[in-house]
Structure 1
Amino acid sequence: MEKMFSRAIDYYYETENEALILGDTFTALKKMKKESVDLIFADPPYFLSNDGITCHAGKMVSVNKGDWDKVASVNEKHKFNRLWIRECKKVLKPNGSIWISGTLHNIYSIGMALEQEGYKIINNITWQKTNPPPNLACRCFTHSTETVLWAQKDDKKAHHLFNYQYMKDKNGGKQMKDVWTGPLTPKSEKTEGKHPTQKPEYLLENIIEAASNVGDVILDPFCGSSTTGVVSKKLHRKYIGIDNNKEFVELSIKRLNLL
């Protein structure tokens, strides 16, 4: 994977088709070669750790995920989003695309940041969860969806890849809609340990199959436990994951080595 970087980079884990980097996302992105990535999936901090409570496995638990999920102000959050989105644009190929997941806590900042940094939003995907945790406060409707924004460079020369016919066939011969319905991440995908915001594999399968081809390079700049990497490997893509948490990177290695 050395050809992906213009400056020396220390891999924490590397094979012929996978690379994991333990460190700062911004530093790693700045070392990557320009326009070297076919598809980016990002699950950035949602900044929802506000000392509140939620329900998990029938128990009342804190919503706090860790220091990485906290932010001091709205301005700081938006500045963070613009910076990493800007660096991602530099490494994305002209015909590549970026997918970013989020909730109401950060998705509006991300949408604005994408437009400010020169992207064109293609779709607003709604992930509808069939088994969301109940709302314990009973002061609002149950939160049962997340949003995934799909965007490309806002450039006349850019023509994002979309495997339209494949996704139509996958959907029983009907055009696939922008609402994807399914359960939360099952226990079977957490056998080596779990990440607090781990996404289910079927969600990444849709994304990777829709917007990349076999052999393409997939980048996840906030990889966590590397569901992106697991699915990329299953679908015969190359994968680069970046995370600053050693525990999560070790979990990524365990999951990748199971395949």
Structure 2
Amino acid sequence: MESHSFFQSSSLDFNLFKGDCLTVIPKLDNNVDMVFADPPYFLSNDGLTVKNGKVQSVNKGQWDKLISDDDAYNFTYQWLSTVREKMADNATLWVSGTHHNIFTLGRILPELGFKILNVITWEKTNPPPNFSCRFFTHSTEFIIWARKYPKIPHYFDYDLMKRLNNDKQMKDVWRLPAIAKWEKSCGKHPTQKPMALLAQIILASTQKDALVLDPFAGSSTTGIASSVLGRRFIGIEQETEYLKLSQARYEDLQNEGRKDFFRQHFYRLLNKEDSNSLTL
């Protein structure tokens, strides 16, 4: 495992590994309590989109290019199978996607023995416009929540989720903005998820000091949210550029007042209650 190590915090609660998750994960020592995975959606097809009012390419990188449907299926099966081996028996898995990959995920998860608990619809309050005007504007992504075994109970902080939702049962549609300027202070990743989204996922399905794994860490939003909320983190990423960004984000988080700054943003975006009456 040492040959893959890129960065480790002095408190050992934030760990980054460089490499392919299929190679790194089998060498990890500990079982994990929660996995969040944002795998390639295979959207880099030379199309166009609009960002910040400008027409830009949808291409993210070679890692996001689809070779064939069979390759996509095999890749998904392999990484899910590898991740499952390192999950504690009561652990849960969250996997994000769009219509490009969500049906493949929904097929493979039960094949491997997972039980799907929910399919969360993340409704973006600030989606990019549809400049072709030939179909509806894409404004959602999906996140499958599954546990390792059908009959072994998982952890779910139902009471906290209810309190975050004005004392009503939380539904499987979450309205949250995409990443904001304050989340890009150290740089950005092309498929970066908002911290509030990861905070809600982590709060829903883990307890303090839980071990969280992200096999496609990118700029480690999962890790930053985990650190702010008192969880431990293992992130795996192939691109050195994004590992350096992840490390910079963690080091920035150690500056005085930064964790409190992020917590206040979580309170504001997740809702919803007076922050003095709600402890994250």
Q: Same fold (TM over 0.5)?
A: yes
Task: Say how many residue pairs are matched.
Answer: 251
Partner Cα distance (1:234, 1:114) in 2: 30
Contact residue 200 and residue 227 of structure 1 kept, 8 A: yes
The amino acid across from 1:225 in the alignment is: S
- Give SS of 2:174's match: strand
Matched, 1:128 2:123: yes
Q: 1:198 maps to which residue?
A: 192
Gaps of 5+ in 2: 254-280
Q: 1:3 maps to which residue?
A: none
Q: 1:155 offset after TM fit, Å?
A: 3.9
Q: 2:5 maps to which residue?
A: 11
Matched, 1:30 2:26: yes
Q: 1:9 offset after TM fit, Å?
A: 4.8
Deviates more, 1:246-255 or 1:129-138: 129-138
Q: 1:104 offset after TM fit, Å?
A: 1.1
The amino acid across from 1:108 in the alignment is: F
Partner Cα distance (1:185, 1:10) in 2: 29
Q: 1:10 offset after TM fit, Å?
A: 3.2
Partner Cα distance (1:224, 1:153) in 2: 24
- Give SS of 2:187's match: coil
Distance 1:121 1:155, change over 3 A: closer
Q: 1:204 offset after TM fit, Å?
A: 0.3
Partner Cα distance (1:148, 1:136) in 2: 26
Q: 1:71 offset after TM fit, Å?
A: 1.6
Partner Cα distance (1:81, 1:116) in 2: 12
Matched, 1:116 2:111: yes
**Runs of 4+ in structure 1 over 6 Å off:** none
Matched, 1:21 2:17: yes
The amino acid across from 1:140 in the alignment is: F
Q: 2:213 maps to which residue?
A: 219
**Root-mean-square deviation (Å):** 1.1
Contact residue 9 and residue 31 of structure 1 kept, 8 A: no
The amino acid across from 1:176 in the alignment is: M
Q: State how 1:1-259 maps to structure 2 within 5 Å.
A: 8-15=2-9, 16-33=12-29, 36-156=31-151, 158-259=152-253
The amino acid across from 2:247 in the alignment is: I
Q: 2:278 maps to which residue?
A: none
The amino acid across from 1:194 in the alignment is: K
- Give SS of 1:185's match: coil
- Give SS of 2:212's match: strand
Gaps of 5+ in 1: 1-6
Residue by residue over 1:88-136, the C-alpha shift from the partner in whole angstroms, topping out at 9 and shown as x without a partner, is 1100111110000011111111111111111110000000011111112
The amino acid across from 1:180 in the alignment is: W
Partner Cα distance (1:33, 1:119) in 2: 22
Partner Cα distance (2:4, 2:179) in 1: 31
Contact residue 4 and residue 19 of structure 2 kept, 8 A: no
Structure with the higher helix share, 1 or 2 = 2
Contact residue 9 and residue 28 of structure 1 kept, 8 A: no
Q: 1:202 offset after TM fit, Å?
A: 0.6
